[in-house]
Structure 1
Amino acid sequence: MVNPALCDLLGHPQHDIDSTAPLDHTYKDLLADIRRFGESLANERNISGRFERPLDQVSGRRLTVTIHVSLIRDKDALPLHYLVQFENRTPLLEIEEKLKSTEFALTDIHNSYHELLEKMPLAVLITKKGIIQYANPAALRLVHAQDRSEALGLSTNMVVDATYHTALEERRKIYDVKKALNPIVYLINCMDGRQKYVEGFTLIINYEGEHAAVNVFKDITDQKQREEYMMQSEKLTMAGQLAAGIAHEIRNPLTSINGFMKLIRSSKRSPETYYEIIESELKRIELIVNELLVLSKPQGKHVSKPINVLPMLEQVITLMNVQAALKNIEITLERADVPQWIVGETNQLKQVFINLLKNGMDAMDSSGTILVSVDSTEQEVWIRVQDEGSGMTPEQVQKLGQPFFTTKDTGTGLGFMITQNIIHNHGGSIQIESEPGQGTAFTVKLPKTMKPEHT
């Protein structure tokens, strides 16, 4: 007898095997194996047992089955029937095979991944909660470690120089909120006491079942040194240009003074006009020297603090209104009532807007309006100074900021250079829009900050 489950397993419809005769012929080898196993049970006086063998379905698919054989005896304890149960182990074995294949594939991926990290020319550190878990050979060379054990277990706070710890903490806080990490530049401490600048990026991955950070770095120490050399070279070039400009600007009034001194000596009388010209030329020399002194003042001595630009601009406009009134010029401030906060040094920023307002007034003949407007974005505060002066050509705008270039009859060109320098030191920028006969607009853009807690 066979039950429907065995028919399904073998792939035979139930109506095809109403008689078991076809099965006897088709599965004679299987029946022979069952009979031999059953006889061994009887000989060993066992009631049941099992064995495993392949079994072909009608479709030709080969199965792996475990065959459970139980010996049924009659009332006299003599063997009467075999109860045979078939357990299909094929799905389980297929799953096991897939798991093995997957395990082999994962092992291959892990080995390939590890081999890739080991051979990468860039330094790779894997950290968990700020502790180094892995360092590739390039990373060991970067920090001059003799062995991997020197690096493993170290805190990143020990590797990254203390001057960059604040940046390190800020980066972690940003990741907690935005789940993103921007590229970073660090100064690191090597095992032999040397220091290097590194630039890199970070990826968050699962490493050994936990979240970890993969940090990829390259050594930019030489690059930083080259940049410093280039900056120094630019400074020396600028100093040479300044020296040449100063020599030219001061030589002209000195030549005039020298000439008039000779005239005074050779003349029996000393005309008052000669003295006035000499005094004028000396004042011009004094102006040049004073502006150079302002330009050369070290910026590090000033203390930056949060500043609401609106009261500062009102103070500057009040100060400049006296000079503006003499030329029949009106200075107006257009702004909303919302405070606009930046971080900076008040006196330096006042000088920026004094310079811009003076430039606007000098560009206007006799009357008109200078409009000062304040606007902002999420990141910046914009202060725009628009005059109604003669304007400038694109070529003149391009040359602004060069030492001793000026559109004024009596200017030195240093005022705008000072203005640019101050704005740059505050992390800002200045934009110039001008057309001949249409006036000029200077837009100063400075980084915006939050309102301080104690004001």
Structure 2
Amino acid sequence: MVRHKGYATRAYLLVTLVVTIPMILIVYFAAVQEKEMLISQYENQLLRASAILTRRLPNESFEKILSEEEALEFDNNDKKVILNKKLQPIVEKLNGIFPEFTLGYYSKDLNSIVALNPVLGSAEYMTKVNASLLYKALDSGKPEFGIVNTALSKEKAVLGVCNPIYDNGKIVGVTWASIDIEIVNQQYYMNILKGFLIALLVWIGTLFIIKLIFDKLRLELEILGHKIDKGEDSLENLKDFPQLYPVFDKINLLRGSLNQHIARLNRILETVPIPICVVSKSGHIAVVNQTFVENLRDYTKEELIGVSYKFIANSMGSSNERSLFHRALNGEDIYGERNNFFNREWLVNAVPIRSIDNGEIEGIVTVLYDITEYEKYLEEMGRLERLEVVGQMAASVAHEIRNPMTVVRGYIQRIQHKLGDVYNSQFNLVLEELDRANRIINDFLSVARNRYVEKEILDLNIILEEVIPLISSEALKRGQTFNIELSPSLPRVLVNKEEIKQVVLNLAFNSMDAMETYGQLLLKTNNDNDHVVLSLEDTGCGIPEKYLGKVFEPFFTTKKNGTGLGLPVCKSIVERHNGVINICSECQSGTRFEVKLPIRNGQNEESFSVKNTQPL
């Protein structure tokens, strides 16, 4: 049901994006264009009104009016009164024709309005009317239009025009006409509102039709789901949606395939040589393999399926509340926990199986790995000298651990492949732990005193180009800066490519671990007489002086989760190549590792390989 609502929501959003939003945009731009047309119409009317004022000016001159009234020698205030007496009736009469306009005359010589209708204020601010348009008109000598705020309109925006008045070719004043811009805006807003209402009605109608379709489809899907649950093959009730016929057939096919996969998975679980147990959400045993049954003893698989996990917890000698089953069912992820039960030592992984839809716990899977013999082996190895432990452990670990781990990893990958993505994160975590154990084994092997290696004459820069992307990616993930300075035309050296790559990666990751975010790592190569030099410099916390003499000792580490094998491995590899590794470090100033490899004599040789088993 949740998915159906999700599809309906997507359809609603699609209609909104594809239909409604474009309609709103069209309405908006149409309203903007209509507003521009209205402004253009009003500008023509304003120009016409101002032109009429100019034509109706008596004698077409302020000076002639004053001359007729014998007022040329009067002061400016008296002149304004006389001009207003003559011109105000003209403005008021024309205002009857254009009632929405504000009309008036302005005298340039008097720098004042001499007639105005409607009268909205006193003479103190009359000179402020349309100042910007007025001066533009006086300067340009032609009508000027614009939207301005004026004192006459109480600082409200108006659309106005100022039209120059000429007397004998000289500008003596202007006539103006203006209209409140809100009159234009009201019609503009009304057009937008009408358009939005139309778009809203279209949107609501379309969503209603989509809802009817999805309601019908949901009903048909519920019928389909009921048929699938009952295992029915009839398609009679789905005749209104024949498009669902292939879906129904495909589901039946997948159901049969799923049953086959389940059978195969059960066979695989039976062949896995480690105990595996699956507990349902209700706390009852759902699946156990034969290896688990053999370790529990005295019970058959049929007797265990369906019983409470508490029965097995009691057999393991743990309380129900602290048992790994109870903890995992309550959401705890358990990895690598050591337990003693069935008179054996075990490494336990118990993780919840969560629903893909809502993340709720649907059960748990428990995997046990018998480490009894491994524990005994470690106790025996502890009696040996420290350096002897390294050599013996390399061979023993490869024999006692690596082969079973390879088997486990293979079966886990097969199970992961069969199950698909259902438990992908849990299986990946198991595989990562197996890979981590495998890397530690490789480190043991690298520290061994005698090691078979195959060397070739290679360019060190070419080897570095293969690991640089890995280092760059890790530095980017950590928020650190990785710089490279590779010297061109380096002499070739006799090396094992994979071991040199291991040295570079170990040193690089060691440096990045020592740095915080924004730290800087520099990788350099250069030619130093008869050696090729590779160096890595970091800006990390540095190494205290008291530890500098111990960093290449096996198992020495200051890291919380370190093995103490990284730098000893590097030293072992470099010395196998007849090279030298040096370290220079200061607290809070960073660390510099320098690896010197001897240049191969006879650079003209194209290529050859050397097998080296010499001891360190």
Structure with greater strand percent: 1
Query: Is the TM value for this pair above 0.5?
Result: no
Q: Shorter-chain TM-score: which interval? A: 0.3 to 0.5
Structure with greater helix percent: 2
TM-score by length of 1: 0.39
